[in-house]
Structure 1
Amino acid sequence: MKSVIFWSLTAFFGFSHAAFKLEERYSWNQLDFVFPTRTLKDIAIASGTYIPQNALPVGIEHWGNKLFVTVPRWRDGIPATLTYIDTAQTISGSPQLIPYPDWRSNAVGDCVNGLNTVYRIKADKCGRLWVLDTGTIGIGNTTQNVCPYSVNVFDLATNTRIRRYEFRAEDTNPNTFIANTVVDIGKNCEDTFAYFSDELGYGLIVYSWEKDRSWRFEHSYFYPDPLRGDFNIGGLNFQWGEEGIFGMTLSPTRSDGYRTLFFSPLASHREFSVSTRILRDENRVDDSYHDFFFFPTERGANSHTTSRVCSEDGIMLFNLIDQNAIGCWHTSMPYTPQNHGTVDRDDEGLIFPADVKIDENRNVWVISDRMPNFLISTLDYTDTNFRIYSAPLQRLVAGTVCDITNRISSRFGLNSILSSKPSGSNLFTNAVGLSAYKSLNTNPLASPNQLQNLQSVNQPLNAQALQVPLQPITQISQITPIAQISQIQPLIYDRQYDVREPLTQSFTTKPLAPIFAPKSTPQSYYKSQIFTGTSQSQTTADFATAIQNLPKSPSWWTTQLW
């Protein structure tokens, strides 16, 4: 068992250290597969159809007692590309991989019944496994297109393929390379869309389950950043400067019934987003440029990422391939480095954490595979090269900036959230309550440089918003219902908007009475237009009464304290 003291010291002094929160479940020097008989395995090895050293695991997914592992056919000798581990039978060790759903379904070149190369996959809440077959074997200049790109969906209850859909010719281009899949379930299982990132063809392909049809979006945000193409991983320096849109994940459902798709090019340190309301509408393919958004602040140095996943309560996890780590961000907070945490790091075991998933029980699964060493250099097959870890989500984020269950962040530091409604005895403390709330008015902050987009929680800047002057927000209800009051928080956080109180009154009795407005707005405007008809009070009791019915979420308290 790892020592907490040792981990703390090594983390403090910057030494390499083992994963502290993630628990290693499986590991391999090289992959092995379950063959029907030993004789058939020997024949496969002798014929070159099975070459153990050529197999690299890249994707995982967990559902029930199955832990799926994908193995692309980048080199010869890969007997199956979609496999699984029976976690009920094998709880640890170096298990042989079982072809899913069977050997025939993994046949190379059988475009109707087989699978050629599979990367990242997704199991949905409707009991379906979404598998994109790229139809290729090889990689780079060895690539052969033996079949078209196809979406294959399996019924996990019966382990049978229930749909196969080939992308249209206009959905791809000669450079297309798709390695990521995200599934978006709406009102019911029929109302399902899947999104596929075209890393080298710089596109985003949408597939509608109900319509059984696909379409393609293109945008400049899908392209790599020419300044972020240098990588240092596993002791290697190399350049992946052409790598565009790669990692994707979906936010929880918003108040409008849609989600936000977060995405990032691989050669980039920046995050982008778009509402699924846009992606689901085929008619917006050629008319959606200004509906895509970018976050003005980068993640920070050495923050390339290929995989991310978001929980239903808004905790995003993402791999940090340069740092041998898994990062986190709570999507209710502004997208800035100070709101990004590291849930675990291992300079040996997490060299290239290729995929990260959260299952139906809120357990996190991570696979590491030393991919750059496999592709550019060589692997030492006497050493452990591939590992799969797991841990409960709450354990991973505990104590990080992403854990906002019991803590909030404010200009006064980290403070415990009130367990009961405010009262006269605590409203005037520096940490919480009226004193901190009023400090927004008594201590003006810097003038804004940019306009924060007001359309949804933490929505970043878009190309059009930069040209729009700051305007007062006369009522919070103009941009959000009361249940989503935390949407205002990023405006305050970014020092762009003040909370202004009516005239000379101390505070207000109505939940929506505080006015969020640009600092440049003349005070006369507030007196003449904004505060007309607003109910005011100057008693502490009235302030407590005014806010007691508001949701006491961490995001709401953060709103008040900033």
Structure 2
Amino acid sequence: MSVQFFMLCTLVTIASAAVKLQELYAWNALDWNYPDQYTRQQAIQTGALIPENALPVGIERWRNKLFVSVPRWFAGVPATLNYIPLDAPYEPSPKLNPYPNWASNALGDCENGLNTVYRIKADKCDRLWVLDVGTYGYDPNVTNLCPYSLNVYDLNTDQRIRRYVFRPEDIVASTFIANIALDEGPTCDDTFAYFSDELGYGLIAYSWRQNKSWRFSHSYFFPDPLLGDFNIAGLNFQWGTEGIFGISASAVGPDGFRTLYFSPLSSNTEFAVSTRILRDESKVSGSYRDFKVVGNRGPNSHTTAKVMDDSGVQLFNLIDQNAIGCWNTFRPLKPQNVAIVDKDDVGLVFPSDVKIDAERNVWVMSDRMAVFLESQLDYSDINFRIYTAPLDRLLEETACQLPAQFYKVQNTQLTKYYDPFFNPNPQPSPTYVAPAVPQSQNQEPFNNPQLTQNIIPQVSAYSAFINTPKLTQISNKTPQPSRWLQRSYDVYENV
């Protein structure tokens, strides 16, 4: 590991007592890691690289790679799917590396390339799920170069192992899909993916085993007509047509299924549906009442990205408030049970994505998207930032903090479970215990009977730990997947 990166980790550890989210990377404008300076200059001269036209949107971390997606809204974005090597010598503004390579990011190459990617998800089977929306340009100047296609990569070999083109009946004329949620079963083959169609007001389910997709429609996918007005970074604008956007899947419940939580962008209301419904193609019709109203986050709580920890805590971006919010799903969703884990009116202007990695570290991307789209960025200033922090540290002293009574470690010997960038020896998952939790003045009690009146009952397996984690250096070892995670899938593509 580099000396520079070790020093960074040390500084972050020292600073963490005062600040929750730690800024790891920052850019005035993005740049790419070309093979040589001549190639880069050629790209600039031909217009293949225009740094001022690139906006990072999505983020995902897998072992020593931090993935960053950059949609091709304007000319000059040479690669839409990229990564930063976390084990490389530390740079505060690193250049992006195309993933898996330059050729796989070729614009207009429908069979082999990626055109525009928004958000990405890595699973426990070391697969990266990437949706290529197939477009170039930004509304109203959008060109559909290729069909919507799901591209899945084996992260151990950096090879694409599947390409699936959505069926014509899954797509409508106004379709715009930006988010992915994964529903992982007991084996790698038993995996489902869900895609939110923001402007087509639909939810698409995909089965890995069946290699097939189907589409759900519901009135809960539509925007709230009273909540289409936005005020971000001093800008007032209207995004009144924005429907179902942020989606997140819970841990597996007692019935063997997860709960998929979702909300329209132009809304403060959260909804949910059991994946028992979504996994069943026959439920596309006649499942209206299986979708439930969860509750309301309160005013100024528009959100575009959310993620769920196995403990039952949901994190989400609050784009109106320049903040990251949280909600413990064991309490009813209402404003007094929603908390802000961190807020920054400079650094977190439009926190576009939030993720939790395999070691329960939170990663946040902020990109000033509203300014980029509705006004003009100042490229003499820092515009894009990536933050990270341990989840438990973010939840401390909030309404979402996990009570100590909920943790019971399976083995008697406590071992290090957390490394911010690479954990060769993850700690075994603890067992969920549900003692009574006293009610405070500002929080609803856990397991409140009211919860069952408006949401699918859910019991998550808490997987938090007792000791506060510390930042440590990167290891060069490679963790081995659990026996049940050994891959047995076939490599084939559906065009």
Change (3 A) 1:399 1:151: same
Name 2:153's counterpart in structure 1: 154
CA distance in 1, matches of 2:142, 2:79: 17
Name 1:456's counterpart in structure 2: 457
- Give 3-state SS (helix, strand or coil) of 1:383's partner: coil
**AA paired with 2:53?**
N
CA distance in 2, matches of 1:90, 1:238: 41
Alignment of 1:108 onto 2:90: no
Change (3 A) 1:84 1:421: closer
CA distance in 1, matches of 2:141, 2:405: 52
Alignment of 1:235 onto 2:234: yes
CA distance in 2, matches of 1:152, 1:31: 24
Alignment of 1:384 onto 2:352: no
Report how far residue 92 of structure 1 moved: 4.5
Name 1:333's counterpart in structure 2: 331
CA distance in 2, matches of 1:303, 1:458: 25
Listed one character per residue, the Cα deviations across residues 103-156 of structure 1 (whole Å, up to 9, x for unaligned) are: 000000000100000000000000000000000001111100000000000000
Alignment of 1:350 onto 2:351: no
**AA paired with 2:104?**
S
In the TM superposition, 1:95-134 aligns within 5 A as: 95-134=94-133
Name 2:285's counterpart in structure 1: 286
Name 1:77's counterpart in structure 2: 76
Q: Is the 8 A contact 1:151 1:165 kept in 2?
A: yes
CA distance in 2, matches of 1:66, 1:261: 27
- Give 3-state SS (helix, strand or coil) of 2:175's partner: coil
Report how far residue 231 of structure 1 moved: 0.4
Name 1:480's counterpart in structure 2: none
Q: Is the 8 A contact 2:326 2:338 kept in 1?
A: yes
Name 2:87's counterpart in structure 1: 88
Report how far residue 315 of structure 1 moved: 1.1
Name 1:207's counterpart in structure 2: 206
CA distance in 1, matches of 2:117, 2:152: 13
**AA paired with 2:389?**
A
- Which of structures 1 and 2 has the bigger CA Rg? 1
Report how far residue 328 of structure 1 moved: 0.5
After TM superposition, the score normalised by the length of structure 2 is 0.80
Q: How many residues align?
A: 417
In the TM superposition, 1:469-508 aligns within 5 A as: none
List 4+ stretches of structure 1 deviating above 4 A.
Answer: 448-451
CA distance in 2, matches of 1:140, 1:148: 17
Report how far residue 432 of structure 1 moved: 6.3
Name 1:13's counterpart in structure 2: none
Q: Specify which structure has the higher proportion of helix.
A: 1
Q: Is the 8 A contact 1:335 1:458 kept in 2?
A: no
Q: Is the 8 A contact 1:226 1:241 kept in 2?
A: yes
Listed one character per residue, the Cα deviations across residues 59-116 of structure 1 (whole Å, up to 9, x for unaligned) are: 0000010000000000001000000000100444000000000000000000010000
CA distance in 1, matches of 2:438, 2:388: 37
In the TM superposition, 1:294-313 aligns within 5 A as: 294-295=293-294, 297-313=295-311
Name 1:16's counterpart in structure 2: none
**AA paired with 1:338?**
Q
- Give 3-state SS (helix, strand or coil) of 2:83's partner: strand
- Give 3-state SS (helix, strand or coil) of 2:178's partner: strand
Listed one character per residue, the Cα deviations across residues 37-65 of structure 1 (whole Å, up to 9, x for unaligned) are: 21111011001111010000000000010
- Give 3-state SS (helix, strand or coil) of 1:164's partner: strand
Name 2:474's counterpart in structure 1: none
- Give 3-state SS (helix, strand or coil) of 2:296's partner: coil
Change (3 A) 1:451 1:96: closer
CA distance in 2, matches of 1:449, 1:86: 46
Q: Is the 8 A contact 1:20 1:345 kept in 2?
A: no
In the TM superposition, 1:212-231 aligns within 5 A as: 212-231=211-230
Name 1:46's counterpart in structure 2: 45
CA distance in 1, matches of 2:456, 2:92: 49
- Give 3-state SS (helix, strand or coil) of 2:67's partner: strand
CA distance in 2, matches of 1:125, 1:274: 23
In angstroms, what is the RMSD of aligned CA positions?
Answer: 2.8
Change (3 A) 1:290 1:87: same
- Higher mean C-alpha deviation, range 450-459 or range 45-54: 450-459
Alignment of 1:142 onto 2:146: no
CA distance in 2, matches of 1:301, 1:169: 38
Q: Is the 8 A contact 1:27 1:384 kept in 2?
A: yes
Report how far residue 406 of structure 1 moved: 3.3
- Give 3-state SS (helix, strand or coil) of 2:381's partner: coil
Report how far residue 20 of structure 1 moved: 2.6
CA distance in 2, matches of 1:421, 1:378: 51
Report how far residue 453 of structure 1 moved: 4.6
Alignment of 1:320 onto 2:318: yes
Change (3 A) 1:64 1:421: closer
**AA paired with 2:191?**
T
- Give 3-state SS (helix, strand or coil) of 1:41's partner: helix
- Give 3-state SS (helix, strand or coil) of 2:147's partner: coil
Change (3 A) 1:150 1:339: same
CA distance in 1, matches of 2:24, 2:77: 23
Change (3 A) 1:98 1:301: same
Change (3 A) 1:89 1:48: same
CA distance in 2, matches of 1:195, 1:366: 21
5+ residue gaps, structure 1, are 9-18, 409-419, 434-439, 441-447, 460-482, 485-562
CA distance in 1, matches of 2:137, 2:456: 44
Name 2:466's counterpart in structure 1: none
Report how far residue 449 of structure 1 moved: 11
Name 1:397's counterpart in structure 2: 395
Q: Is the 8 A contact 1:334 1:458 kept in 2?
A: no
Name 1:373's counterpart in structure 2: 371
Q: Is the 8 A contact 2:332 2:450 kept in 1?
A: no
Name 1:24's counterpart in structure 2: 23
CA distance in 1, matches of 2:208, 2:147: 19
Alignment of 1:268 onto 2:271: no
CA distance in 2, matches of 1:49, 1:455: 49
Report how far residue 421 of structure 1 moved: 13
Change (3 A) 1:283 1:33: same
After TM superposition, the score normalised by the length of structure 1 is 0.71
**AA paired with 2:286?**
D
- Give 3-state SS (helix, strand or coil) of 2:314's partner: strand
CA distance in 2, matches of 1:109, 1:353: 30
5+ residue gaps, structure 2, are 1-10, 407-432, 440-444, 463-495
**AA paired with 1:141?**
P
Report how far residue 451 of structure 1 moved: 8.6
Q: Is the 8 A contact 1:61 1:357 kept in 2?
A: yes
Change (3 A) 1:324 1:407: farther
Name 1:164's counterpart in structure 2: 163
CA distance in 2, matches of 1:64, 1:457: 30
- Give 3-state SS (helix, strand or coil) of 1:46's partner: helix
Name 2:419's counterpart in structure 1: none
Percent identity over the alignment? Answer: 60
CA distance in 1, matches of 2:80, 2:145: 15
CA distance in 1, matches of 2:389, 2:376: 30
Q: Which has the higher contact order (CA 8 A, sep 6+)?
A: 2
